[in-house]
Amino acid sequence: MDQLKQIIRDIHDFPKKGIVFKDITTLLSDAKSFNRMVDLLAHRYVGEKIDQIVGIEARGFILGAALAYKLGTGITLVRKPGKLPYNTCSINYELEYGSDSLEIHEDAFQKGDRVIIADDLLATGGTMTAVVELIEKLGAEIHECAFMAELEFLDGRSKLPEGKVYSLLKF
- Please give the distance of CA 47 from its chain centroid, rounded to a whole number: 21
- Indicate which residue of 36, 44, 57, 59 is catalytic: 59
d(CA 84, CA 68): 20
86-125 binders of ligand AMP (CB under 6 A) = 119-125
Stretch that binds ligand AMP, among 20-28, 40-48, 68-76, 83-91 (CB under 6 A): 20-28
**How far is Cα 116 from Cα 118, in angstroms, rounded to an integer?**
6
Are the CB atoms for 90 and 26 separated by under 8 Å?
no
**CB closer to ligand AMP out of 73 and 127:** 127
Q: Is 71 in the site for ligand AMP (CB under 6 A)?
A: no
161 secondary structure, DSSP code: P
The answer to whether residue 44 is catalytic is no
Choice between 22 and 79, CB closer to ligand AMP: 22
What is the residue type of 19?
Answer: I
Q: Is 9 a catalytic residue?
A: no
**Residues in contact with 3: Cβ distance below 8 Å, sequence separation at least 6, in sequence order:** 33
Q: Which is nearer to ligand AMP, 48 or 152 (CB)?
A: 152
Q: Which residues bind ligand AMP (CB under 6 A)?
A: 19-22, 59, 119-127, 151, 156
Residues annotated as catalytic (active site), given as ranges = 59, 96
